[in-house]
Amino acid sequence: MPLILKFEQSHDLLSDALYDLEDIIETDPQNSADLTNALGIFGSLFDQAIRTMQAFLSMQGINDAKAPGDIILRSYYENIIPDSELWNEMFTFRSEDTSELNTDDLLFRYNIIREVYYPAVSSLYDILDEKRN
């Protein structure tokens, strides 16, 4: 598959994942099941963001970034993301086990997603949208 098509496909999937999380945010979940679902959707969104950054880097001829940490660092150096520390924090956050958390802890994590991480991924989408044109 040509690199531009791979990027376009990945970018479209990122858009879909953003809408999925946006839908959850609009419902303002408060119970454990909905909060756990929101965290899972964020995990999928983050994974898609990493794949989209990697596809964009490949389209630019940068193929040495394979692991998420490397993709984040190269994306920072290529001015795709403004804050590599935030993205590394998101990577750690995404990887943490939340199966034993109570509702208050889930709500705390959800609020971080809503207030910090969702805007960062949304900004990535906009930056890539601008760079592809």
CATH number, domain at 8?
Answer: 1.20.120
Check if the beta carbon of residue 13 is closer than 8 Å to that of residue 34: no
**Taking every pair of C-alpha atoms in the chain, what is the biggest distance, in angstroms?**
46
pLDDT at 3: 85
Q: Which domain holds residue 70?
A: 3-132
pLDDT at 2: 84
In the chain, how many domains are there?
1
Encoding tokens for residue 97? 């086990």
Check if the beta carbon of residue 7 is closer than 8 Å to that of residue 56: yes
pLDDT at 133: 67
Q: What is the pLDDT along the chain (133 residues), one digit of tens a residue?
A: 688 899 999 999 999 999 999 999 999 998 999 999 999 999 999 999 999 999 999 999 999 999 999 999 999 999 999 999 999 999 999 999 998 999 999 999 999 999 999 999 999 999 999 987 6
